[in-house]
Amino acid sequence: MGFSLLGLLVSIVVLAPNLLLLWFPPRGPNVVVRVPRLLEGSERAGQALCLVVPAITLPGAIVWGWALPVAVALAAYYALWGRYLVAGRAQVLLYASLWRVPVPMAVMPALVFLGAAAWVSNPWIAVAAVVLAIGHIPVALLTRRAIRSAPSE
């Protein structure tokens, strides 16, 4: 245990874009999905763990080869936020595919945290990322399915 500035920065750069939803909420119909408590709990726990664990656990050896995959996944995530903002802020854009990835805005943060875990040789960040992925990706898939089957206005 200890403070990691690098870990804190990773948490902030991944989770901060979600604050955009406060100022730029989705326009149009907003589909709310009831999800199993276990998935919801895993998603929330993963979000909390990914915010806190990188900042409170000391890094091991820095493996610089992982910096590039982390940067690419983060850039893709930011580009997806850009797509959401530029293309009209419809809720469906938060769950729209990118290439063959069905819910990239749920997948990319998990990939960034997994890559960061390898980058700073910290298995606790990997655990946090897996908990996040176990909840966040299925919840996003359920929401995507509900949005696609919701009647259009």
**pLDDT tens-place string over residues 91-147:** 999 999 998 999 999 999 999 999 999 999 999 999 999 999 999 999 999 999 998
Residue 54 per-residue DSSP state: H
Contacting residues for 103 by C-beta, under 8 A, at least 6 apart = 95, 97, 137, 140, 141, 144
Cα 74 to Cα 14: distance, rounded to the nearest angstrom: 7
pLDDT for res 1: 82
For residue 113, give both structure tokens.
Answer: 């945290």
